[in-house]
Amino acid sequence: MSSHKVIVIGSGPGGSAFAALMSHAGHHVTLLEKNAFVGGKCSSLSRDGYIVDTGVHMFGRGPLGPFGEISRIVGMGPSWSAATPAFTLSLSGAGKHTAGQKRPHGHKLEMASSITHPVSLLNFLRGHVRGWQKMGWASTAVKASRELGLGGFISLARRFGDHRYPLYCELQDICVREFFAKLSDADDFLRTFHAQAMLTMVLPWHRASMGEFAYILASTMQASLLCYPRGGSGAIPASFLRALEKSGGSVRAACEVAGIEVDRGRVCGVTTREGEFIPGDMVVSSAGLRRTVELAGRDAFPVDYLAWADGLSDSEAFIAVKFFLDRKISSMRTPCLLHMPGLSPHTMFDYLQDGSIPEELFLFATAPGNWDPSLVPPGGDCLIVGVPAPSSLDRAPQAECLLDLAEEMSYDIFPELAGATVAVERVLTGDVSRLSGRAAGDCIGIAQEVGQSGSRRPQSHTPIRGLFLVGADAGGRGIGTEMAADSALRLYHQLKDGQP
Ligand SMILES: Cc1cc2nc3c(=O)[nH]c(=O)nc-3n(C[C@H](O)[C@H](O)[C@H](O)COP(=O)(O)OP(=O)(O)OC[C@H]3O[C@@H](n4cnc5c(N)ncnc54)[C@H](O)[C@@H]3O)c2cc1C
């Protein structure tokens, strides 16, 4: 690569990683961020002695995934914390809850990052024996063998984690529901995988691509390292930006790009909200595909590219309620918890489409102080409870009601909250949209759904010479932040190898 003057838009995991990589490779890099702080949807802010993530985060591979690879290239990166057991599985006591009657607390099982770890195996067995969770392994094996033939079943299992035969390409046009419903009739089995697809891609299973899900399952199971960066999620982009500055690049926060300048089909720089023109021969945007098109002007793009971009859909949202406590959480020993509602796996996320409020919700809760005690004041704690919600801002009233229910359920799952909560803070879809600069409050970016994933996923290259996309919208695969970092890594390697 000859030396370029590179302008990177956005400081989330995608933009910060790409800026660090390009600066390390000797290019002149300037990163512009519209917010007064860096990190995008993966930032952490200080508040009365707590360091709190803007969202609710957990990382599937940490140093063993793209973050680790980038850190090794640029010589700097976050340090990671993991715990065993890694998470608590909270299983609904009944799923039914009538007005005035307190919902049962349900049952809790602790799990390790690896499903084959003795802690996980023992607790799976405990849940089965006590009747809390019937995964139906035997009936599933019988149904799967009948469906695929014994040879097909064994071959599927063997190829699952084998990178030489990427199953995920073969499965990119099948949705998660179609794949799993063919293999099993067991509600707990199906609910587990539907919830996993929601947790990792923030999509209901009839939209989520099985190819992408197979990749996520195989790569996270191979790493078996649920973890979290010391210093909070914001430590990831912050460490990449330190690497950027160390190698001579610069970061300008509170500097919004209002236009990408294009001259005869080639970028020549950007103009900021204040009207400053910053020249550059390469502009790499993590503002999202559609926002990037707006910034460059629709006239600059071929009509078929615009039609395709306009038709892409985004992931759903994760909204959150944060509890600030004056004592330690006592009903969970692990850093995070997944609550499985006692609802049918076929309807548990219907509310995302039909606007209803279900009886119970799937919840993802983290207590970051259990990964890194320095994030909370001595003797205090913080619990962040996330719930899937529709990403459209038009559905904000429904999202408010979902968060009310999530808050109510949190007091049942963590009874100690009642006496220990000193403040509560909410993150709704409007907050996420303001954070990322996107039109909706989507959690991830462009949805990893059938028709938009694998070989059909938007690529980093655009029809405008010198204009590229990085981040969760284009070019990568995996879970949220790791997909954004993977996108940066792939574009960096493509440019380095001289691919057009
Ligand atoms: C509540 C919540 C929970 C989540 N949980 C997880 C999780 O557990 N694990 C996980 O891996 N992922 C999780 N994610 C998803 C993850 O945070 C995103 O997928 C990831 O941050 C996307 O990275 P990005 O770099 O593509 O974009 P972003 O992080 O959105 O960064 C884009 C940046 O571009 C800036 N920008 C936009 N327009 C302009 C402009 N015109 N000028 C200058 N700057 C601009 C924005 O201000 C922003 O800082 C979660 C997200 C949310 C909201």
The string of pLDDT tens digits covering residues 69-79 is 999 999 999 99
112 pLDDT band, cuts 50/70/90, is very high
What is the residue with the minimal CA distance to atom 36 of ligand 1? 10
Q: Is 437 in the pocket of ligand 1 (CB under 6 A)?
A: yes
pLDDT for position 312 = 97
Q: Could you count the other beta carbons within 10 Å of the beta carbon of residue 408?
A: 13
For residues 390-400, average pLDDT: 98
**Ligand 1 binding pocket includes 232 (Cβ within 6 Å):** no
Q: What whole-number distance in Å separates Cα of residue 404 and Cα of residue 416?
A: 18
15 touches ligand 1 (CB under 6 Å): yes
- Topology of domain 5-45+64-81+230-312+447-496 in CATH is FAD/NAD(P)-binding domain (3.50.50)
Query: In what helix (H) or strand (E) does residue 437 lie, and over which residues does it extend?
Result: none
Q: Which residues contact 268 (CB under 8 A, 6 or more apart)?
A: 261, 262, 279, 280, 281
Kindly report, residue by residue over 133-184, the tens digit of the pLDDT.
Answer: 888 989 998 898 888 888 888 888 888 777 776 788 889 999 999 999 999 9
Whether the link from the prior residue into 279 is cis, omega within 30° of 0, is no
Measured distance CA(380)–CA(51) in Å, rounded: 12
- Ligand 1 proximity of 60 Cβ (cutoff 6 Å): no
Query: How would you class 75 by CB atoms within 10 Å of its CB: exposed for 0-12, middle for 13-18, buried for 19 or more?
Result: exposed
